[in-house]
Structure 1
Amino acid sequence: MLLENPDNAVHADFSVPARLPQDEGARLAALQGYCVLDTLPDKTCDQITELARSLFGVEISLVSLVDEERQWFKSRAGLPAHETPRSMSFCAHAILSGGSLVVLDAQQDSRFRGNPLVTGAPRIRFYAGAPLVSSQGHALGTLCLIDPHPRQRFGPAEVARLEQLAAMVMERLEQLRNRGYTDHVTGLPNRARLMEVLRTRPHARGAAGLPCAALGVDICSREYLFDMVKALGWDYAEAFLVQVSRALCEALGGQPVYRVTTTTFVFLDESTTAQRQEHIANVRQQFVQALEIHGIPHQLDIAIGVLPAVDDIAGSDVVRSLLTVIDVGREEGVCPRQFESIHAENQRHAFWLLSALPMAFNASNELSLHYQPKVRLRDGSCVGAEALIRWVHPVMGNISPAIFIALAEKTAQIRQITAWVVRHAVAQVAAWQARGLAVPIAINTSARDFESDDILRLLAAQLKQHAVSPGLIEIEFTESSMASNPEGVRQRLESLRELGVKVAIDDFGSGFCNLSYLKSIPADIMKIDRSFIRSLEEDQADQVIVPSIIHLAHQLGFCVVAEGVESERTARILHHLGCDIAQGYAIARPMPADELEQWLGMEP
């Protein structure tokens, strides 16, 4: 056991990523060889984590596998996340220790006190991790315990019990690996078998001298499958996967098909270009009609990625490249999508940004808020401003919000961004309020912010702490926030209004809006999306749509704001149409707080 004493070493006051193990290459290869990453949960592992949580009296227990750039949880009890970046991982430190790692109080440990998992959810204070060591001696990850309360002691007897449970987990992983090259659900060859084929196949040309291609078929999103599991159970999900795999094999005329992730299948194609296109067409045609499993139809949204020449890249990169291009194809709505080297570069850059973002929250000068004024069209007076986050990285320089916000919205990090903006925007409003100036500030939110009451609690606490009038804060939400849980979002918006905060529907018209939602949304303001405003001067369709939106909004009692006003003529047209407020470059660009003060004519 290695019981960490933070006084034994000196570290800067931020999260310190673990160094790489000396056997990192072999360790990652061993981890891949177990074929458990991104697989469905295992009941035996789940039983062990639940037992560990109960036995040691902690809130969270995990079977954590430390991958190249993430830690992925094969089993998790008490934690909703499936994975976190390796840069934040306690377990990445644990696999270096040569034994179990115990951190009695993370806030007192200089390596961890600034870790986003300590300063934010799940607010780790106590951690204990026993390495999962393969028969070849490689530490693949840990069985770990996590709790938001520190401990005074975690003695040798407790460590020994934790290590016994870790040995049970490792034995289970060995059993899973020893199933060999066959996927136990579908009966198809698995990813390990594909890797073996790629390693041993001769680098020879196929029919007509063409290189061997790899085609990946993702039969549905992972969220769709996990929602199925929650609604109908594991047995039904496995029956679904079996029937889908049979349909795919039928479409490909008996070619070997490998199941490489929970929802992704791969086949190698050495045929001509025309035959390859025929194979792709057959796969697409196979899933045009809904697939019925036990009387329930499933209209599958498949995605196909194409890697034109597998011999041009390392076998270990084949699956990674296919998963990348499949994601790109889904985002672009292109099927099939062919892999290009830029896709891998973009994926690495995206992962780098997401890994660097937690550090930015703890830095003093990387993140800042700029404010874009909003003016009343009838008299030109300023009625407030929208708070917009900016990120200046010390190496990469200015990073566009369009890039890092879009990436963060795919993860729980968007909630951290919203929380950061709320704290700093309310503090700025308080500073202005103390100088006798009331400047209403609008704060953007994402759909993920309305999955819990966190934003409501945070906003209430910040308003109370800074003694800010709630009417000076406006929360903007988009139509997409209503999509998955309209009633839950409606109730949280109502709670915000009860707090005294104003609520605005942002980017109205940019997504699918159900008018039945609109009539019951507890909002004060409707912001027309800039896509309708940008070409208002010359686009006849926009000249019909915008007046209709303004009339509808006024009839429902909303104040109307037009975004993206980039010319004085557009502003005059909007005023003529009855729009209340305008925002855009024709009025002012986003600016730091001190420049906004000058723009408003405030005394220094």
Structure 2
Amino acid sequence: MLHGTAVDARRWGQDQGRAQAAVIAEMAVAPALAEADLADGLTTGQRDRLQRATDLAIYNDSVLRLRVRGFNGQVVFSDDGTTAGGISINDPAFRSAAAGHTEVGLLSVPEAPGGQVIRVLQPIVASASGQSVGVLELYLPYEHIAARLREQTAVTYWRLGAGLGLLYLVLGLISWSTTRSLRRYAQRQAHEALHDALTGLPNRAAFHERARAALAQDGEPGAIVLVDLDRFKEVNDTLGHHAGDELLAVVADRLRAGLRPADTLARLGGDEFALILPRSDAATVRRLLDGLSAALATEVVLDGVPLSIEASFGVAHYPEHGRAVDELLRRADAAMYHGKRGSADIVVYAGEDMSHPTQWLVVQAELRHALARDELVLHYQPKVDLRTGEVVGVEALVRWQHPQRGLLPPSEFLPAAEQSGLIEPLTAWVLARALADQAAWTATGRSWGVSVNVSARNLEKPGFADFVSGLLAEHGTPAHRLLLEITETALAADTRRAEQAVLDLTTRGIGISVDDFGTGYTSMSQLRGLPIAEIKIDRTFVRDVLEAPPSQAIVRAIIALAHGLGSRVTAEGIESPEVADWLRRAGCDEAQGYLYSRPVPWAEVGTYEITGAAS
């Protein structure tokens, strides 16, 4: 910008010099010379006229020096009367001017005001002939042009400074804003990389970092705890994933509220949470987890459905159970799943005997062989009519006679079967064996029906009703003597497919029983539309029915509901005559439990026919 300003100023000065020289040559010099021949010099009259014509310009300092020269370079007139000096005749500029061209240049002259002058070589054209007769050599002052240039330069400096200042300010604001945004973005990315988006809790990566920091405190005891919600999948399947997300947020809030400031709560994924409880002995950990379990159990309402949150806690103490994070997590995981298969909701790791979910792969492989080698057996538990005390049916319960581990209950292998495709061949085996055993006891004069448990995967399999009908025909068993027990979870897993499967079975005369009623999320409208033969009251409502008014109210409500739907009611978990008598008076139809018999093999079925009958 400054260079351009200087160039423009010089160009403007040269243009001014060219114009001024043209005026002087045309208006003053040419008329004064008349028809003079510069090669012969000037007459006194011509010199006087030329002097008078140029005096005003010289006097006003608009011209510093003025010379009139012939084409041979001879100075015929100068304002100071000298005939020497000036531009050389051999100079290209002089030759160009002699040829009729105006030449303008900027010269450095130390003695001139400002140190610079404008030199103009202007052809002199005679007024009469219009021919060039000589060269006018003018030296014009550049000082006022330089002053103007300085003024313009100063203004340009100020404008440039102001513009650059404003630019720097804008760039500074942009840089500050961008830096702040990038810093916030980086912080947000760092936070998101270490926190769960749904609950805002630390995620698995952050949990590992904090756990390593806690374990680095030598000599300080503590615990790693894994928390897994029970039956969380039922909430997602029944109420939708939005309800599941809401439930997870509630769980996170309740767990966070029950912890100390130094404790860490993280969500590892799904419905699994983890705790780091530093500087805590076993008693402190137990007391803290009891409080968390009680806080979770408080009822929450999701989409109008009241739910009680239950969770399994697996505990690994450090340094007792390990000094590495992965080792403690693995042992806490084993303890948690041990609790899921048992009745305790808080389980502390107790050695390598605790099975771990990774062993289910082994269980699944062994179970495949067990089906092929006929290692499974059925035990039967009676269903007793509470009014007459007679056995009216039996429930088939599968066991595994493991060659190394002995007789295994369903909790040891059914979860592995449910997670794989083994549940279908396992159910098929149970159905076939139960119908074969039923044919055997029918031959001895016992007309008991048999109940068999089926899973949601069985109901979802196309052609399941045809398969069951085929087995009934194969064993010659009337359809009404088979009762298929399904849980509320199975009934609610896929409403349309479950309802269709139930209708297909009932149209063939096969009875349907809803097991563990009261613990799932079956809707009343769903039950109303299905021909349910039996509703079984879960043992959790039966075991304290004599002492707990809420359990009494629930049991009475289930009995009234079932009878209103045209279904009979069976109560599970009867262990005392007093409970059996209360249920009979409440209107319950049938009962199962240790009061009558534990599940026993077919060979022992006849020994409990009347044992423990209610009066």
TM-score by length of 2: 0.48
TM-score by length of 1: 0.48
**Highest CA radius of gyration, 1 or 2?**
2
